[in-house]
Amino acid sequence: MTRFWWVRHGPTHEKTMTGWRDVPADLSDTAALQRLNAHLPAQALLTSSDLIRATATADALAQTRTRLPPDPSLREIHFGDWDGRHWSDIATTDPILSRQFWEDPGPHRAPGGESWDDAATRATATADALATAHPGRDIIIVAHFGIILTQLARATGQTPYQTLAQTIDPLSVTCLSLTDGRWQALSINHRP
Protein backbone atom coordinates (compact mmCIF):
# COMPACT_ATOMS: atom_id res chain seq x y z
CA MET A 1 0.00 0.00 0.00
CA THR A 2 1.22 3.47 -0.91
CA ARG A 3 -0.28 6.24 1.19
CA PHE A 4 -0.55 9.83 0.03
CA TRP A 5 -0.87 12.34 2.84
CA TRP A 6 -2.29 15.40 1.07
CA VAL A 7 -1.72 18.47 3.27
CA ARG A 8 -3.28 21.79 2.42
CA HIS A 9 -0.79 24.62 2.88
CA GLY A 10 -1.12 27.12 5.74
CA PRO A 11 -3.75 29.86 5.56
CA THR A 12 -3.21 32.82 3.26
CA HIS A 13 -6.08 35.01 4.52
CA GLU A 14 -6.81 35.93 0.90
CA LYS A 15 -10.40 36.98 0.18
CA THR A 16 -10.03 36.71 -3.58
CA MET A 17 -9.46 33.88 -6.04
CA THR A 18 -5.95 32.56 -5.42
CA GLY A 19 -4.56 30.16 -7.96
CA TRP A 20 -1.06 30.61 -9.35
CA ARG A 21 -0.46 33.98 -7.65
CA ASP A 22 2.43 33.43 -5.30
CA VAL A 23 1.07 34.57 -1.94
CA PRO A 24 2.66 33.51 1.36
CA ALA A 25 1.11 31.29 4.01
CA ASP A 26 0.63 32.39 7.60
CA LEU A 27 2.59 29.78 9.56
CA SER A 28 2.43 31.58 12.89
CA ASP A 29 0.27 28.86 14.52
CA THR A 30 3.21 26.79 15.69
CA ALA A 31 0.99 24.57 17.85
CA ALA A 32 -1.02 23.54 14.78
CA LEU A 33 2.20 22.81 12.88
CA GLN A 34 3.50 20.71 15.80
CA ARG A 35 0.27 18.68 15.88
CA LEU A 36 0.45 18.21 12.12
CA ASN A 37 4.08 17.11 12.32
CA ALA A 38 3.24 14.59 15.05
CA HIS A 39 0.36 13.19 12.97
CA LEU A 40 2.32 12.67 9.75
CA PRO A 41 4.67 9.69 9.30
CA ALA A 42 8.18 10.66 10.37
CA GLN A 43 10.00 8.75 7.61
CA ALA A 44 7.75 9.79 4.73
CA LEU A 45 8.88 11.36 1.51
CA LEU A 46 7.82 15.01 1.27
CA THR A 47 7.09 17.15 -1.76
CA SER A 48 4.97 20.18 -2.52
CA SER A 49 3.71 22.58 -5.11
CA ASP A 50 6.34 25.13 -6.09
CA LEU A 51 4.22 28.07 -4.89
CA ILE A 52 5.62 29.75 -1.77
CA ARG A 53 2.60 29.00 0.43
CA ALA A 54 3.14 25.29 -0.19
CA THR A 55 6.96 25.23 -0.10
CA ALA A 56 7.07 27.16 3.18
CA THR A 57 4.53 24.78 4.72
CA ALA A 58 6.53 21.79 3.47
CA ASP A 59 9.74 23.30 4.88
CA ALA A 60 8.02 23.51 8.27
CA LEU A 61 7.22 19.79 8.01
CA ALA A 62 10.60 18.60 6.71
CA GLN A 63 12.25 17.50 9.99
CA THR A 64 13.21 13.80 9.54
CA ARG A 65 11.50 13.46 6.18
CA THR A 66 13.21 13.12 2.81
CA ARG A 67 12.42 16.29 0.89
CA LEU A 68 11.77 15.87 -2.81
CA PRO A 69 11.92 18.95 -5.09
CA PRO A 70 8.83 21.18 -5.31
CA ASP A 71 6.77 20.40 -8.39
CA PRO A 72 4.84 22.98 -10.47
CA SER A 73 2.38 20.26 -11.55
CA LEU A 74 1.02 20.36 -7.98
CA ARG A 75 -0.01 24.03 -8.22
CA GLU A 76 -3.57 25.11 -7.54
CA ILE A 77 -6.05 25.26 -10.42
CA HIS A 78 -4.97 28.14 -12.64
CA PHE A 79 -7.70 30.79 -12.43
CA GLY A 80 -6.17 32.88 -15.20
CA ASP A 81 -7.74 36.34 -15.48
CA TRP A 82 -9.85 35.65 -12.37
CA ASP A 83 -6.83 35.25 -10.08
CA GLY A 84 -6.78 38.04 -7.52
CA ARG A 85 -10.40 39.03 -8.14
CA HIS A 86 -13.28 38.66 -5.70
CA TRP A 87 -15.93 36.09 -6.57
CA SER A 88 -18.74 38.70 -6.60
CA ASP A 89 -16.82 40.79 -9.17
CA ILE A 90 -16.31 37.73 -11.40
CA ALA A 91 -20.00 36.80 -11.12
CA THR A 92 -20.94 40.31 -12.23
CA THR A 93 -18.53 40.60 -15.16
CA ASP A 94 -18.71 36.98 -16.36
CA PRO A 95 -21.99 35.54 -15.00
CA ILE A 96 -22.48 32.61 -17.38
CA LEU A 97 -18.96 31.22 -17.37
CA SER A 98 -18.52 31.76 -13.63
CA ARG A 99 -21.65 29.71 -12.92
CA GLN A 100 -20.56 26.97 -15.32
CA PHE A 101 -17.11 26.89 -13.72
CA TRP A 102 -18.56 26.03 -10.29
CA GLU A 103 -21.84 24.28 -11.15
CA ASP A 104 -20.45 22.08 -13.92
CA PRO A 105 -16.77 21.80 -13.06
CA GLY A 106 -14.71 19.70 -15.34
CA PRO A 107 -14.42 21.20 -18.82
CA HIS A 108 -14.93 24.93 -18.09
CA ARG A 109 -11.91 27.23 -17.91
CA ALA A 110 -11.46 30.69 -16.48
CA PRO A 111 -10.24 33.08 -19.22
CA GLY A 112 -6.50 32.50 -19.57
CA GLY A 113 -6.66 29.67 -17.03
CA GLU A 114 -7.39 25.99 -16.87
CA SER A 115 -10.27 23.68 -16.08
CA TRP A 116 -10.78 21.17 -13.26
CA ASP A 117 -10.04 18.45 -15.84
CA ASP A 118 -6.74 20.10 -16.79
CA ALA A 119 -5.64 20.39 -13.14
CA ALA A 120 -6.76 16.83 -12.37
CA THR A 121 -4.80 15.47 -15.32
CA ARG A 122 -1.53 17.09 -14.23
CA ALA A 123 -1.96 16.20 -10.52
CA THR A 124 -2.93 12.62 -11.35
CA ALA A 125 0.13 12.18 -13.57
CA THR A 126 2.36 13.40 -10.74
CA ALA A 127 0.71 11.16 -8.13
CA ASP A 128 1.01 8.19 -10.48
CA ALA A 129 4.68 8.91 -11.12
CA LEU A 130 5.35 9.17 -7.38
CA ALA A 131 3.51 5.88 -6.73
CA THR A 132 5.53 4.16 -9.46
CA ALA A 133 8.86 5.56 -8.25
CA HIS A 134 8.16 4.92 -4.55
CA PRO A 135 5.80 1.94 -4.17
CA GLY A 136 4.74 1.09 -0.64
CA ARG A 137 5.95 4.40 0.79
CA ASP A 138 4.24 7.17 2.70
CA ILE A 139 4.31 10.33 0.59
CA ILE A 140 3.35 13.72 1.99
CA ILE A 141 2.28 16.26 -0.62
CA VAL A 142 1.70 19.86 0.44
CA ALA A 143 -0.68 21.28 -2.11
CA HIS A 144 -3.84 23.30 -2.59
CA PHE A 145 -7.60 23.02 -2.11
CA GLY A 146 -8.45 22.30 -5.76
CA ILE A 147 -5.61 19.85 -6.36
CA ILE A 148 -6.43 17.86 -3.23
CA LEU A 149 -10.07 17.73 -4.32
CA THR A 150 -9.14 16.36 -7.75
CA GLN A 151 -7.37 13.47 -6.08
CA LEU A 152 -10.18 12.94 -3.58
CA ALA A 153 -12.63 12.68 -6.49
CA ARG A 154 -10.35 10.09 -8.03
CA ALA A 155 -10.27 8.02 -4.83
CA THR A 156 -13.99 8.22 -4.07
CA GLY A 157 -15.41 8.12 -7.58
CA GLN A 158 -17.41 11.28 -6.95
CA THR A 159 -18.01 13.86 -9.63
CA PRO A 160 -16.11 17.16 -9.51
CA TYR A 161 -19.36 18.91 -8.51
CA GLN A 162 -19.93 16.52 -5.60
CA THR A 163 -16.33 16.81 -4.48
CA LEU A 164 -16.38 20.62 -4.51
CA ALA A 165 -18.81 20.47 -1.57
CA GLN A 166 -16.04 18.95 0.59
CA THR A 167 -14.17 21.20 2.99
CA ILE A 168 -10.37 21.09 2.87
CA ASP A 169 -9.08 23.39 5.61
CA PRO A 170 -5.60 24.91 5.73
CA LEU A 171 -3.15 22.54 7.49
CA SER A 172 -5.60 19.64 7.16
CA VAL A 173 -4.68 16.13 6.00
CA THR A 174 -6.52 14.05 3.43
CA CYS A 175 -4.99 10.57 3.35
CA LEU A 176 -5.53 8.46 0.22
CA SER A 177 -4.16 4.97 -0.29
CA LEU A 178 -3.29 3.00 -3.39
CA THR A 179 -3.36 -0.79 -3.10
CA ASP A 180 -3.23 -3.08 -6.14
CA GLY A 181 -4.42 -0.27 -8.41
CA ARG A 182 -7.37 0.67 -6.16
CA TRP A 183 -7.66 4.09 -4.55
CA GLN A 184 -9.33 4.61 -1.20
CA ALA A 185 -9.92 7.64 1.01
CA LEU A 186 -8.64 6.85 4.52
CA SER A 187 -9.31 10.29 6.01
CA ILE A 188 -10.63 13.57 4.64
CA ASN A 189 -9.89 17.04 5.99
CA HIS A 190 -8.43 15.69 9.23
CA ARG A 191 -7.28 18.46 11.58
CA PRO A 192 -4.72 16.98 13.99
| HEC letters along the chain | CEEEEEEECCCCCCCCCCCCCCCCCCCCCHHHHHHHHHHCCCCCEEEEECCHHHHHHHHHHCCCCEECCCEHHHCCCCCHHHCCCCHHHHHHHCHHHHHHHHHCCCCCCCCCCCCHHHHHHHHHHHHHHHHHHCCCCEEEEEECHHHHHHHHHHHHCCCHHHHHCCCCCCCCEEEEEEECCEEEEEEEEECC
Average pLDDT score over residue span 130-156: 98
At 38-69, the pLDDT tens digits run: 999 999 999 999 999 999 999 999 999 999 99
Q: Is the pTM for the entire model greater than 0.85?
A: yes
- pLDDT score at 41: 98
pLDDT in tens, 78-131: 999 999 999 999 999 999 999 999 999 999 999 999 999 999 999 999 999 999
What domains, with CATH codes, occur in the chain?
2-190 (3.40.50.1240)
Q: What is the pLDDT of residue 21?
A: 96
The residues facing 17 across adjacent strands are none
| Per-residue pLDDT, 145 | 98
